[in-house]
Structure formats: structure tokens, C-alpha cells
Amino acid sequence: MVVSQDVLDALRQIGLNLYERKLWVALLSRSTSTAGELSSLAKVPHSRTYDVLESLADKGFVVIQSSKPIKYVAVSPNEALERAKNKLKQDLEVKINRMKKLQNSSVIKELEKLHKKGVKIVEPGEITGSLKGRDALHRQLEETFKNAKNNISILTTQKGLSDLFSVHGDILKKASGRGVKIRIAATLGKNDSLLKDIKNFAEIKRIKNQNLIGRFAVVDDSHVVLALTDESVHPSQDLSLWSRSGHVAGDVLGPMFDCLWENLE
């Protein structure tokens, strides 16, 4: 049975790989079939057909009949999606519970000790990485803000400020509450409605030069998160750089921010 590319793309978006998509669509067209028949119909290598069908069964898209030869029954699309959702929820709950137990165990303390020991002997340049996608940028900012002890300096845009408040507002409030000094320099509209809320936990100054549209954060003169692309790109294509470097944070970007800050209103 031939289906449109839109159908195959939609199935890919819910997590089915190419062979899974092909075999499930083929099985839907026959309702019940053997692995050999499906392999020929879907043009999937026979050596892969069995394990792919087992994967589909595990996800809730297929039922395996214990007959000779073994036959596979297609679950109706609506029912398959419902089963798949329930399976994902159950698996996620199991993983979350395991993570919670790990967080409260001696294992995590040992891993934290190992990490701190490793950081002391590693070269600063090695504690540097690239981030692809705005979600990755915000995850890194979240971790950096949570661990801030003394100061946070942020340069951003009007849209960046809005994202900063909606995604990290609570974390920054908590940081301010424990004594972290937060400064934000941003390109703003004159009547930006966020100013009042942000001033509850940070000092904020307006950048008049609309051509200055960079985005970076310096934390404790030792951590830097720097956007490498303009924010107008698609969020999935946003590129950033993070570095745990006293030189970059304390000797380069930190002083640059201080100089800019002194000349803002």
C-alpha cells in the first residue's frame, strides 16, 4: 500500500524510524501478515524485519500472534497512538523515579566528587562546548544561573529579555534572594512592560544603540554563555558557545560589560 510522504513524515515525527514506518504501513494494508510477507511488501531487509516488528509491538503498534509461522496483527491507528502514549508515560515515570532515587543516593555524591576533582586538573579550554538550538542555550543558562554565587551580568535584546524573564525569571529571583548581584543591559522599548517585574530582582539599563544586539551572560567571573547567531534565525539553528574560563569571563567579557554598563542610563 502506497501512502503519501506527508504520512511517512508524520510518523517520523512521533518517533518511528524508517523501517518501522514502512513495516507498520505495510501491515495496516493487510491487517495480518507474516514477517516474510511484510519484508517483501515494505522492501525492508529480511534480517531486520523481526527485530523491527518486535520494536513496533513494544511501542504498541503491533500485536504478535504465537502461531506457526508467527503472524503480526496491525493495531488500528487511533488505538496504536493511545497505546504508544501510555507506554511513553509509563517509561518516563519509571526513569524519573530512578533519577530521583539516584539524586538521593550516595552514588550521586561520589559522582559529584569525581566531577569536582576532574575540573581542577582539566585545562580551561577543555571545559568549553558549542550549543545548537535555543533550548540548549536555555538549558545551559539555567544550570549556570542556578550555581551562581556572586554576580550575573547579562547583555541581551528586547526579545531576549522577554525570553529571559519567562524561562529564567524564577531562577534569577532565587539567585537574587541568596545575594547574587544581577545586572542586565538590554535594547528596550521606552515602555517595556517587563521592566517593573525585572527590577524586583535585577538592576537593568537600556542600550540606546539599536545596532548593539549581542547576547551573552557572564557569571561569577568564571562562566560565559555567548550566542553566536542573530536571534532572528530559527530557534533550532541558534548557535551558542559556553565556557568555564576565568580568562574569558574575568579578563575579557566581564570588563567589556563593566565598561558598557558605566556608560548606560
pLDDT tens digits along 94-108: 999 999 988 888 888
Listed residue (142, 220, 213, 151) closest to 182, CA to CA = 151
Helices (H), 122-265: 134-146, 158-177, 195-198, 246, 254-262
Q: How far apart are CA 62 and CA 80, in angstroms?
A: 8
Give the Cα-Cα-Cα angle 111, 113, 119 (nearest 5 degrees).
Answer: 100
Per-residue pLDDT at 190: 62
pLDDT at position 111, please? 78
φ/ψ of residue 193, rounded to 5: -70, -15
Q: ∠241-245-250 over CA atoms, to 5°?
A: 110
76: DSSP letter = P
Structural domains of the chain ordered from first start? 5-77 (1.10.10.10), 127-262 (3.30.870.10)
Residue 26, pLDDT score:
93
| Residue 87 contacts residue 60 (beta carbons within 8 Å) | yes
Q: Is 222 helix (H, G, I), strand (E, B) or coil?
A: coil
Q: Quote the DSSP letter at residue 238.
A: -
Kind of pairing between the strands at 239-244 and 128-132? antiparallel
- The C-alpha angle 227, 192, 137, rounded to 5 degrees, equals 20
Q: How far is the C-alpha of 174 from the C-alpha of 201, rounded, in Å?
A: 9
Q: What is the 3-state secondary structure (H, E, C) of 4-42?
A: CHHHHHHHHHCCCCHHHHHHHHHHHHHCEEEHHHHHHHH
Q: How far is C-alpha 14 from the chain's CA centre?
A: 17
Specify the pLDDT at position 126. 46
Gap between the Cα atoms of 197 and 200, Å rounded: 6
Q: How many residues does the chain have?
A: 265
φ, ψ for residue 39 (rounded to 5)?
-60, -45
Residue ranges in the chain modelled with pLDDT below 70: 1-2, 115, 117-127, 189-192
Average pLDDT, the chain: 88
Report pTM.
0.58
Q: In this predicted structure, what is the pLDDT of residue 118?
A: 59
Q: What pLDDT shows up at residue 263? A: 86
Question: Are 134 and 230 a contacting pair, CB within 8 Å?
Answer: no
